[in-house]
Structure 1
Amino acid sequence: MQYYEDVEVGETKEFGAYEVTKEEIIEFAEKYDPQPFHVDEEAAEESMFGGLIASGWHTAAMTMRMLVEHTTRDAASTGAMGVDELRWKKPVRPGDTLHVEVEILDKEPFREGMGLVHSGTYVTRDDGTEVMSFIGLVLYETRE
């Protein structure tokens, strides 16, 4: 179990190989972000994106899934206070495979028994193109 004291500024982790499907893009968007370029292939072709793309919120949700699978299960994390500087940099399309890199940027005491960790999260496609980034504000339990 990784506690606040174990987290080191500068530490990085890389993981993931999440393949994005057309069906998942449409299903998520129909429920949560039904803009034409997320739900309708013909309309998406006519949009500035030139084809179907995932909602940025869907990209964030896929990233969260990978974070839980690869970082929070082994951490004394009690959740997050939010994110700063969320950016959707490039469209995510059907067939893209997403990867995540997390870098510990800073940490600070929060209150008794807890510390706050600032982590840079960078999401890329197979070709190395960064599609999303944000700074996570994650609470960790201390050992004592």
Structure 2
Amino acid sequence: MVEWFDDLKVGMRFKSESKTVSREEILRFANEFDPQPFHIDDEAAKDTILQGLAASGWHTAAISMRLALTAKPFGPHPLFGAGVDELRWMVPVRPGDTLHLEGEVTELIPSKTKPQGIARVKWTAFNQNGEAVYTFNPIAIVPRRPA
């Protein structure tokens, strides 16, 4: 089991639980945080490049963050971050889509001055059809095993 930075290895993989996204959740999030027609109005969304109602990309990002927590890539430790690279939305998330997240450790950099390290995990969210809908590569700060 992963508990500390020292337990991680490049190539390790993680998989989250699943989450089905409802129309109501899409509308609630969009109305509060991203009230654009393609996120809040079925008819208006048909005439956009999304060709129908779709979750805000930021909603997809928030769902993915929640799913990353269920994967517990750093054991009991929180998912502290110093930033995110390579954030991409590839396929719209629609009402009724079921998402899960898969991650792979791509880089580990131990700190020379602090009891921690930087772990890079490339995360990809997939829908129920196996299509990648979203990717991101956070710069995670993970504590090292106490001496």
Q: Structure 1: 5+ residue runs without aligned partners?
A: none
Question: What residue in structure 2 maps to residue 29 of structure 1?
Answer: 30
Where do 1:43-122 residues align within 5 Å? 43-71=44-72, 74-77=75-78, 79-110=80-111, 111-122=113-124
Q: 1:78 to 1:44 in 2, by over 3 A?
A: closer
Equivalent-residue separation in structure 2 for 1:25 and 1:49 (angstroms): 14
Displacement of 1:126 in angstroms is 1.1
In the alignment, is the contact (CA less than 8 A) between 2:14 and 2:73 conserved in 1?
no
Question: What residue in structure 1 maps to residue 5 of structure 2?
Answer: 4
Work out the percentage of aligned pairs sharing the same amino acid: 38
Spell out, residue by residue over 1:77-121, the C-alpha distance to the aligned partner (whole angstroms, 9 max, x if none): 461111101000010000100011010000102341110001100
Where do 1:118-133 residues align within 5 Å? 118-133=120-135
Q: Structure 2: 5+ residue runs without aligned partners?
A: none
Equivalent-residue separation in structure 1 for 2:24 and 2:74 (angstroms): 28
Question: What residue in structure 1 maps to residue 40 of structure 2?
Answer: 39
Q: Secondary structure at the match of 2:100?
A: strand
Q: Match of 1:2, as an amino acid? A: E
In the alignment, is the contact (CA less than 8 A) between 1:53 and 1:91 conserved in 2?
yes
Say how many residue pairs are matched: 144
Q: 1:83 to 1:106 in 2, by over 3 A?
A: same
In the alignment, is the contact (CA less than 8 A) between 1:21 and 1:94 conserved in 2?
yes
Q: TM-score, normalised by structure 1?
A: 0.94
Equivalent-residue separation in structure 2 for 1:130 and 1:120 (angstroms): 13
Q: TM-score, normalised by structure 2?
A: 0.92
Q: Secondary structure at the match of 2:130?
A: coil
In the alignment, is the contact (CA less than 8 A) between 1:107 and 1:116 conserved in 2?
yes
Equivalent-residue separation in structure 1 for 2:79 and 2:145 (angstroms): 13
Question: What residue in structure 2 maps to residue 140 of structure 1?
Answer: 142
Structure 1 runs of 4+ aligned residues shifted over 4 Å read none
